[in-house]
């Protein structure tokens, strides 16, 4: 069954948002879960964490960056176009409780999937402190959303063009020293989550990360997204995608994320050549 795109926004040079009709998924979705889509019968399966949903409208919101062949092709679709396959919600939902003070560390595209988690944690009565960061200002989005739901909001960029100059661990360390948070959530590039976990570990603050490992079937059958957590093999699609960051083997994770770089490069080159020739 095809899924119609009903709304599209350009959030940055490579970042786009799409609202898609998917009433069954919208009615079951919870914070932390993801979907897998396939643009057409020739397309690969793409995992995207749910950025938002509306059960009444029957829509889900997806945010993605155009970094490879499939995500670039997805970005060419417009409202009225359809996505052939869309499966979800998949993965374990975030454990939403009243923890006390929770720090949400959102890096780059991680801004989108961490939003519904922050929203639900706020609804549960937590004090929410948000740190949003990216390499440069044009990769940031949804600042207004986070400012509204956060008790404290801190913005930083690597190049200093917006907010604090530096990486997200700079304001995080200050918060760990002064606010004594009860829990930290970090979603973003693997290297960012690794350093966030490394920053919080000496303070003994539990830190949850969302592993955007390679996923293919999303049901734990293919084994493509296996990772090591606490010395044991886990599958991010069915055992996660959220894990204790202090137990994740980030070295292995980042190595696995680079497994198909050559194939991805080749696919992008062929796609570019094909679209240019048209």
159-200 confidence digits (pLDDT tens): 888 888 989 999 999 999 988 899 999 999 999 999 999 999
* pLDDT recorded at residue 35: 94
Residue-wise DSSP of 136-185? SGGG---HHHHHHH-SEEEEEETTSSSSEES-THHHHHHHHHHT--SEEE
Per-residue pLDDT band for 271 (boundaries 50, 70, 90) equals low
- Nearest CA among 93, 98, 238, 111 for reference residue 186: 111
The three-class DSSP label of residue 55 is coil
What's the pLDDT band for 260 if we cut at 50, 70, 90? low
Q: Rounded distance, CA 129 to CA 122, Å? A: 10
Q: What is the pLDDT of residues 4-18, one digit of tens each?
A: 999 999 998 899 999
pLDDT digits (tens, 9 = 90+) for 61-94: 999 998 888 888 999 999 999 999 999 999 999 9
Asked if 219 contacts 237 with a C-beta cutoff of 8 angstroms, the reply is yes
Average pLDDT, the chain: 91
DSSP 14-29: SEEEEEEE-HHHHHH-
Give 44's DSSP letter: P
Reference 184, options 198, 165, 167; nearest CA is: 198
For the chain, domains (ranges, CATH) are: 3-90 (2.40.30.10), 101-257 (3.40.50.80)
Q: Which of 19-28, 239-248, 260-269 has the lowest mean pLDDT?
A: 260-269
Prior bond of 166 cis (ω within 30°) = no
Q: What is the pTM of this model?
A: 0.92
């Amino acid at each position: 069954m095809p899924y119609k795109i009903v709304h599209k926004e350009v959030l940055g040079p490579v970042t786009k948002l799409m609202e898609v009709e998917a009433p069954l998924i919208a009615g079951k979705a919870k914070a932390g879960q993801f979907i897998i889509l396939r643009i057409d019968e020739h397309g690969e399966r793409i995992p995207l964490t749910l950025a938002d949903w509306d059960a009444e409208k029957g829509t889900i919101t997806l945010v993605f960056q155009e970094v490879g062949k499939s995500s670039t092709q997805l970005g060419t679709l417009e409202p009225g176009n359809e996505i052939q396959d869309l499966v979800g919600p998949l993965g374990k939902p975030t454990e939403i409780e009243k923890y006390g003070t929770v720090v949400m560390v959102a890096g780059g595209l991680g801004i989108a999937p961490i939003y519904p988690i922050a929203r639900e944690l706020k609804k549960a009565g937590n004090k929410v402190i948000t740190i949003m960061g990216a390499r440069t200002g044009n990769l940031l989005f949804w600042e207004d959303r986070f400012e509204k739901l956060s008790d404290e909001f801190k913005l930083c960029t690597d190049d200093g063009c917006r907010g604090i100059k530096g990486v997200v661990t700079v304001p995080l360390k200050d918060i760990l020293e002064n606010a004594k948070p009860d829990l930290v959530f970090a979603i973003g590039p693997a290297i960012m989550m690794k350093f966030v976990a490394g920053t919080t570990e000496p303070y003994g603050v539990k830190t949850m990360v969302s592993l955007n490992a390679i996923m293919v079937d999303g049901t734990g059958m293919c084994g493509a997204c296996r990772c090591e957590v606490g010395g044991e093999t886990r599958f991010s699609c069915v055992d996660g995608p959220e894990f204790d960051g202090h137990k994740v083997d980030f070295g292995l994770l980042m190595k696995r994320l680079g497994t198909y770089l050559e194939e991805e490069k080749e696919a992008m080159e062929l796609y570019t050549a094909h679209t240019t020739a048209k």
